[in-house]
Amino acid sequence: MLTATELGDRVGEFIAAHPDTDDALGYLRARFDAGLAWVHYPVGLGGLGAPRTLQAAVDAQFAAVGAPSNDPGRIGIGLGMAAPTVLAYGTEEQRTRWLRPLWTGEEVWCQLFSEPGAGSDLAALGTRAVRDGDEWVVDGQKVWTSMAHEARWAILVTRTHPELPKHRGMTYFVCDMTAPGVEVRPLRQATGEAEFNEVFLTGVRIPDAHRLGDIGEGWSVARTTLMNERVAIGGGVAPREGGMIGIVADTWRERPELRTAGLHDRLLRLWVEAEAARLTSARLHLQPAGEPGPEGSAAKLAFARLNQDISGLEMELLAEEGLRHDEWTMRRPASVDFTTRSPGYRYLRAKGNSIEGGTSEILLNVVAERVLGLPAEPRVDKDAAWKDLPR
C-alpha cells in the first residue's frame, strides 16, 4: 500500500508531466487514468487502493498548482452516492462505463428514491418495474430529486415484486434521464429557488444490463447508497471553523456592536460541538470505499442540528439585518452553497437538512438500533405483502 510520501511523489510527477491545464476535461481524464481521482478506489477505476485518509492531501496538492477541478458541488450525488454503489454492486462493464465520466463531471447523476407516499419509509415505494424480455418497463413518480434537471443518469429503486414484503420486493436500476417517458418538473422551495424536482416515469424502458444487484435485492443495494449519502452530506472533513460556524464566529469578531452575553455563551457551545463533529467526521474516512456503517447516520444527524442551530444564532446575532433575503429569483442551482449566500438563505435552507438524506427521526432509530444496540421499534408490516399494505 502506498505511503503518503509515495503518493505525494506520484502527484508531483503527474503535475510535472501535464503542464497544460487549458484542456480541463483532458486533464481530469488523465488524472483519473493515473489513479489520482479517488485514490482509495481500485486500480483501473480512478484509484490506487490507497488509504482514504490520503485523499485530502492529494486534492490539496492539485489545488495548490491551480489544476482543473471536477466541480464536486455540481456532481456531489454522483461522487457521494452513485459511485460507491456502482463500485459495490456493478459489473466490470458497468464500472468501466460509468465511473470515469462520473468523476470527470462529463455526466451528472441524480437519485430517484423518495416518492409522495414513500419518503421516510422508503421501502414503501410503489414505482413499478415490469420485465419485458431484456428490458424493464417503469411507471411511477419520484420527488425531491436534486439535479434531475441536469442529470444524464439516475440511481433508481423500483417495486418489482408487490406480492413480497416491502423490503424484499425491490430492484435497483440505473435510469437514463434522457429516455422517452422521463419528465422533470421543478419544485419551488422556501428559499425561492427550485433546487429540487419531481420526476414522472411513464413507460420508461431500462435495459436489464442497467440493473445493479440481483432482482428483488434492491433494498440491500439502496442501503449502500443511503449510508454513503449520509456520510456525503454530514461526514465531510472541513478545516477548523469551516462551514457556518466560521461565518458566525467571524461576524462576532468583526462586529463587536452585535455582541451580547447570552449569545456569546451559545456561540461557544456551538463552536465546541462543531469542532467535535468535525473531528468525528474525520474518523469516518478511515473506512474502506463503499462500506460506510450506521455511524454515518450520526454524522448526518449532527450536521443537520448544528446547521439549524448555527443559522438560528446568526439570525439572532444580526437581528433585523438577518431577516433580509434578496434572493427570491426562481433559480435552478447546481449545488447548495451555505458559505457565500445571505444569512436569510442559510436560515431557510438549513431547515431542509433534517429531511434530505434521511429524516432525523429515522436516523435516530438507526443510531439507536444499529449503533447503541437498543431494542428495535415494533414493525407490524414487516412480513406483510406490499400489495396488502394500506396506502
H helix or E strand, kind and range, residue 154: strand 153-159
H helix or E strand, kind and range, residue 336: none
Look up the CATH number of domain 109-217: 2.40.110.10
pLDDT at 237: 63
> Which regions of the chain carry the CATH code 2.40.110.10?
109-217
Cell 460507491 locates to: 84
What is the second-level CATH architecture of the domain 222-371? Up-down Bundle (1.20)
pTM for the whole structure:
0.86
C-alpha to C-alpha distance for 85 and 190, rounded to whole angstroms: 31
H helix or E strand, kind and range, residue 376: none
C-alpha to C-alpha distance for 140 and 129, rounded to whole angstroms: 9
Cβ distance 211 to 134 under 8 Å?
no
122 CB neighbour count, 10 Å cutoff:
20
Cell 435497483 locates to: 172
> Which regions of the chain carry the CATH code 1.20.140.10?
222-371
- The 10 Å CB-count burial string (b at 16+, else e) for 49-59 is ebbbebbeebb
**Ranges of residues in the chain whose predicted pLDDT is under 50:** 289-290
pLDDT at 290: 46
Cell 447508497 locates to: 225
Cell 429515522 locates to: 362
